[in-house]
Amino acid sequence: MPKGRLEAFSDGVIAILITIMVLELHTPQGTSWDALREDVPVLLAYALSFIYLGIYWNNHHHMLAAVHRVSGAALWANLHLLFWLSLVPLTTAWMSENDFPPIPTAVYGMTLLAAAIAYYLLQTILLRVDGGQSMLRAAIGTDFKGKASPLLYCLGIGLSFVNRWAGVTVYVVVALMWLVPDRRVERTLTAGRGDPG
């Protein structure tokens, strides 16, 4: 099954999610700097979720670039991933509008955890379709980040109940870990094309 429409649909959904989050932001109450300052935590939570969705789009982009075809099961695994990502705007709003209390902050982490697991499932299914010698397999390598993220999310969820900022800090750290350029896939893809650049 060609992968074009799967890519297009995923791009569409992630583009919409990353954009409609802004609809959950309310204009500040009043027109002073103080009014804006009160909204800063909400804006930072928005920025964090924007980065997370950007990371997912980016990784999804690379993963699909490394496979040649997809199966029916991959379509559903992809929708499953999109389902959890679609809850990000809601949990971001719940967490940030209430000033980061324990339960919503933990639930935010659970959404990230569920998305990470869904991503792992999708990756596993794509690998099975593509076969053992696949370019994707080579590109993933030891998949350190993919394995560390769920553990860190669990840590963040637990810490949310200890101190509200500790949980959020872990989520920020995971985002930064992914933001650090990851040239594995790019390098492998380039190597696969015999391109020295």
Residues that bind its own copies (CB under 8 A): 1-2, 5, 7-9, 11-23, 25, 27-28, 31-33, 36, 47, 50-51, 54, 57-58, 61, 65, 71-73, 75-76, 79, 82-83, 86-87, 89-90, 93-94, 97-98, 101-104, 107, 179, 181-183, 186, 189
Rounded (10°) angle between helices 102-130 and 144-160: 160
Nearer to its own copies (CB atom), residue 44 or residue 151? 44
* Separation CA 12–CA 127 (nearest Å): 24
Nearer to its own copies, 75 or 155 (CB): 75
Nearest distance from C-beta of residue 98 to its own copies, angstroms: 5
Minimum distance, C-beta of residue 3 to its own copies, in the bound complex (Å): 11
23 versus 194: smaller Cβ distance to its own copies: 23
The rounded distance, in Å, linking the Cα atoms of 89 and 108 is: 10
Q: Whole-angstrom Cα distance, residue 194 to residue 101?
A: 52
Nearer to its own copies by Cβ, of 124 and 151: the residue is 124
Interatomic CA distance for residues 161 and 94, integer angstroms: 16
CB of 156 to its own copies, least distance (A): 17
Surface-to-core class of residue 38, CB atoms within 10 Å of its CB (0-12 exposed, 13-18 middle, 19+ buried): middle
Closer residue to its own copies, CB minimum distance, 151 or 161: 161
Minimum distance from residue 132 beta carbon to its own copies (Å): 15
Give the 3-state secondary structure of residue 25: coil
Which CB atom, from 151 or from 186, has the smaller least distance to its own copies? 186
Identity of the amino acid at 48: L
CB of 125 to its own copies, least distance (A): 12
Residue 104 beta carbon to its own copies: minimum distance, rounded to whole angstroms: 5
Q: Are 85 and 115 in contact (CB under 8 A)?
A: yes
Residue that is written with structure tokens 């593509």 in the block: 130
